[in-house]
């Protein structure tokens, strides 16, 4: 069908990203926002905007009737859910279709099949995709959990059937721990997903987290766009991603791609999606789950493979063939060019157990230069609250080799200035200098092993110097900054003193 206007049912950087893609495709974009987000960049960037309601997500970004009403009232033909919020809710996809709207994503049936982790495991086994040994149905109780764990052999992982994002997961190392872990996982799953069903699978020792990006159109074509290395995580939340992985050879990439396209085909998948695998040190890989949406880390794939995934989503939703060339059919894959790394810049204090931070972004200087990309949903003057995810922006660096990409990322992180609240920036700077990371010796336990190097509190002198710089920048720009009622705030120009002091603080405090 012909699309002219798209409702972007999200906020933050992904909303800005989708709005840009719409405009490049010649489409109008309609933003939605909650009351605290009224001054957010995505609201200004869109062609129109609709207020959903107060801050709580249940009354704004998760309110399906309000989103459908907003789409209808503004004459939209399609809805793009972004990631998070309702992006993997089959009920939302169904509601869009019932309202005569195109859902820019997979069919509701595919979302349901892959959203139920035990059903997904059954589908993958039937399609010949290797899965981690475990149960194919939810556990009835902790007693069954103990029996199945003993059969698999400890350690095991208890996981929510409707899970994702690390919610409802517990690592169990001994039989005596099963009861408590089962109840804790069940409570967390029920709170996060409204479903307390739990299953158990064998815990793999020190695997890498490798995922394959797939695209599928309405004409039955499925293409794999290589792998992303997502092993640097904290509590199952990704912190740094890169493509390609140093652990994946061309032959292994081919096998992973074949498994990923088979997985997508098994559920009749359409649009952009990601198949996640665990890769063992011996080279065996197992299906973990499928994310039936665009991923946070999609830019590294775009830079390495030269594909605009969000624009492809829009084209596929309109019934057009994807513009990805070079491979087709089962296991179709493209070949990587260069290397890309993404750092998630979050409003969290990495030296205080990544405690979420709030406050006003008093000053923001964005890095640029060759091979640097900045995807953000905030600007100077915006207030960061605890209502939503702490992700502020994604900093991505591309280079002809991994070494060059790391060098560019280190330089870009050093140029980045954020004043007003702590962020993950200094953590990322340390990782870019860490010997294990530089050698590519990473797996999902990396942060546990490297914590004394990358998460130790900076020296007091460095902290005091950084605070002095922050105060100077705020004082210098205070006379120029418009009130918060303005849609944007122009950052002040920093002078030579603040530049020198900032770089000195970074060297002393963060290395």
Q: Is 255 a catalytic residue?
A: no
- Count CA within 13 A, CB hemisphere, residue 46: 31
From 186, 293, 311, 465, the catalytic residue: 293
d(CA 431, CA 410) in angstroms, rounded, equals 9
Radius of gyration of the chain (CA): 23
* Sign, CA torsion 485/22/291/427: negative
Q: What is the residue whose two structure tokens read 């530049």? A: 499
Q: Which residues contact 496 (CB under 8 A, 6 or more apart)?
A: none
Measured between alpha carbons, how far is residue 434 from residues 217, 453, 457 in Å? 41, 8, 16
Geometric angle at alpha carbon 406, from 440 and 439, rounded to 5°: 20
What distance in Å separates the CA atoms of residue 32 and residue 48, rounded to the nearest whole number?
Answer: 9
Contacts of 448 (CB under 8 A, 6+ apart): none
Name the token pair of 103. Answer: 């859902």
Q: Which residues pair with 232 in a beta bridge?
A: 240
What would the two tokens of residue 106 be?
């997979």
What the block records as the tokens of 203 is 């815990």
Helix (H), strand (E) at residue 231: strand 222-234
Side by side, the strands of the sheet bearing 285-291 are 285-291, 271-279, 208-216, 222-234, 237-243, 339-346, 391-399, 372-376
Cα 42 to Cα 378: distance, rounded to the nearest angstrom: 9
Tokens for 57, please give them.
């997500």
Strands 5-8 and 78-80: parallel
Question: Can you tell me the distance from the alpha carbon of 388 to that of 447, in angstroms, rounded to the nearest whole number?
Answer: 24
Supply the residues annotated as catalytic.
293
């Amino acid at each position: 069908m012909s699309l002219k206007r798209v409702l972007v049912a999200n906020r933050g950087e992904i909303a800005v990203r989708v709005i840009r893609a719409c405009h490049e495709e010649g489409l109008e974009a309609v933003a939605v926002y909650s009351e605290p987000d009224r001054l957010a960049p995505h609201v200004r960037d869109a062609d129109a905007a609709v207020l959903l309601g107060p801050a709580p997500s249940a009354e704004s970004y998760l309110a399906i009737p309000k989103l459908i009403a907003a789409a209808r009232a503004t004459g939209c033909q399609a809805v793009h859910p972004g990631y998070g919020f309702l992006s993997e809710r089959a009920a939302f996809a169904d509601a869009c279709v019932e309202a005569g709207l195109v859902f820019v994503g997979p069919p509701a049936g595919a979302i349901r099949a892959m959203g139920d982790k035990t059903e997904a495991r059954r589908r993958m086994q039937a399609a010949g995709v290797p899965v981690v040994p475990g149960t194919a149905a939810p556990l009835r109780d902790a007693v069954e959990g103990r029996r199945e764990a003993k059969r698999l052999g400890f350690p095991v992982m208890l996981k929510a059937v409707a899970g994702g994002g690390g919610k409802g997961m517990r690592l169990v190392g001994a039989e005596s721990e099963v009861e408590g872990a089962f109840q804790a996982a069940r409570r967390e799953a029920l709170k996060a997903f409204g479903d307390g069903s739990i299953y158990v699978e064998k815990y793999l020792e020190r695997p890498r987290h490798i995922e394959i990006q797939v695209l599928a159109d309405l004409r039955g074509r499925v293409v794999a766009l290589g792998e992303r290395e997502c092993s640097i995580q904290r509590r199952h939340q990704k912190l740094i991603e890169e493509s390609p992985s140093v652990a994946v050879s061309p032959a292994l990439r081919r096998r992973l791609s074949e498994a990923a396209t088979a997985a997508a085909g098994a559920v009749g998948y359409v649009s952009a999606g990601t198949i996640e695998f665990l890769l063992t040190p011996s080279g065996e890989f197992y299906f973990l789950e499928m994310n039936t949406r665009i991923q946070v880390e999609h830019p590294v794939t775009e830079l390495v493979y030269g594909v605009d995934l969000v624009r492809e989503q829009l084209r596929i939703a309109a019934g057009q063939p994807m513009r990805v060339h070079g491979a087709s059919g089962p296991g179709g894959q493209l070949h990587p060019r260069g290397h890309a790394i993404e750092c998630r810049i979050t409003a969290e204090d990495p030296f205080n157990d990544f405690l979420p931070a709030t406050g006003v972004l008093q000053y923001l200087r964005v890095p640029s230069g060759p091979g640097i990309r900045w995807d953000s949903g905030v600007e100077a003057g915006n207030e960061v609250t605890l209502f939503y995810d702490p992700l502020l922006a994604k900093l991505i660096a591309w280079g002809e080799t991994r070494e060059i990409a790391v060098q560019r990322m280190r330089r870009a992180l050093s140029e980045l200035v954020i004043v007003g609240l702590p962020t993950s920036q200094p953590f990322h700077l340390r990782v870019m200098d860490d010997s294990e990371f530089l050698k590519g010796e990473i797996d999902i336990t990396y942060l546990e092993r490297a914590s004394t190097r990358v998460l130790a509190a900076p020296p007091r002198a460095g902290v005091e110097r950084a605070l002095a710089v922050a105060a100077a920048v705020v004082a210098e720009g205070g006379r120029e900054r418009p009130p918060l009622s303005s849609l944007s705030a122009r950052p002040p120009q920093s002078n030579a003193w603040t530049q020198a002091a900032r770089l000195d603080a970074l060297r002393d405090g963060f290395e």
